[in-house]
Amino acid sequence: MAYKLWYWPSIQGRGEFVRLALEAAEIAYEDCARTVGEEGLLADLNDRTGRTPFAPPYLELDGLVIAQVANILMYLGERHSIAPSTMADRLWLNQLQLTIADLVAEVHNVHHPVAMMDYYDDQKPEAARAAKQFREERLPKFLGHFEDAAQANPGDWLIDHRWSYADTSLFQIVEGLRYMFPRRMKTLEPEYPNLNRIHDQVAELPGIKAYLKSDRRIAFNTDGIFRHYPELDAA
């Protein structure tokens, strides 16, 4: 039986970290809301009882429902050997994924600083202020951290000689930030050669190559987490 992935059908968002790991490993899954739509997703979420997800994405197999991106990836890593198996390596990978999750939350906060449930248009002055500090202080701090992580295993993947889910997640971070902040990333990127190398290696994985060319990959847009608003970018 194939996995059922439940996530918003019109954005990459947080679900994309799960999609990328599944696609890279060529694991069969059904992206359910691409068929039943947003209403179908909300109906599925609201009908659940017991151990329920707080929010999408969640992954379902044989009655087991797993939510939270890092948790889903850890499960896939254990089950499909797309993660190392020693304790120290597993913890390091989970730690990196959780730091990626922190970055993603801060990225979302840039365009929704004061009212997560309202529109960007209702908080543009606040977003401009949030974007400035994010671009100038937070972004280099996060990217420098991931560069150090990528440098720890020179010329190779994050850990050992094979990709893991944190490699595909770093790919997505680079893709998303290039879309959201093209001018800022042009300035910063030369400082992160190892992070870029991992990005390029992931793009060449057969499963990812096929995925990026398929219509399963939703284009970046201004409904997702990484949003390109030119007024929030600067070199």
Q: How far is the CB of 226 from its own copies (least distance, A)?
A: 18
Q: Using CA atoms, how far apart are residues 136 and 128, in angstroms rounded to an integer?
A: 12
- Nearest-CA neighbor of 14 among 25, 5, 23? 5
Q: Which amino acid is at 191?
A: E
Give every CB contact of residue 131 below 8 A, 6+ residues apart in sequence: 110, 111, 232, 233
Decide whether 91 or 219 has the Cβ nearer to its own copies: 91
Q: How far is the CB of 180 from its own copies (least distance, A)?
A: 17
- Nearest-CA neighbor of 171 among 141, 197, 145, 142? 197
Q: How far is the CB of 88 from its own copies (least distance, A)?
A: 6
Decide whether 203 or 234 has the Cβ nearer to its own copies: 234
Per DSSP, the residues of 36-76 read HHHHHHHHHHHH--SS--SSS-EEEETTEEEESHHHHHHHH
Decide whether 10 or 99 has the Cβ nearer to its own copies: 99
Which residues bind to its own copies, rule: CB under 8 A?
Answer: 50-54, 64, 66-68, 70-71, 74-75, 78, 87-88, 91-92, 94-95, 98-99, 101-102, 105-106, 109, 113-118, 126, 129-130, 133, 137-138, 142, 145, 148-149, 152
Per DSSP, the residues of 70-110 read HHHHHHHHHHHT-S--SHHHHHHHHHHHHHHHHHHHHHHHH
- Nearest-CA neighbor of 142 among 179, 186, 174? 174
Q: How far is the CB of 53 from its own copies (least distance, A)?
A: 8
Decide whether 119 or 203 has the Cβ nearer to its own copies: 119
Give every CB contact of residue 112 below 8 A, 6+ residues apart in sequence: 118, 120, 123, 127
Q: Using CA atoms, how far apart are residues 194 and 198, in angstroms rounded to an integer?
A: 6
Q: How far is the CB of 137 from its own copies (least distance, A)?
A: 6
Q: How far is the CB of 212 from its own copies (least distance, A)?
A: 28
Pairing, β 29-31 against β 3-6: parallel
Q: How far is the CB of 65 from its own copies (least distance, A)?
A: 9
Decide whether 92 or 179 has the Cβ nearer to its own copies: 92
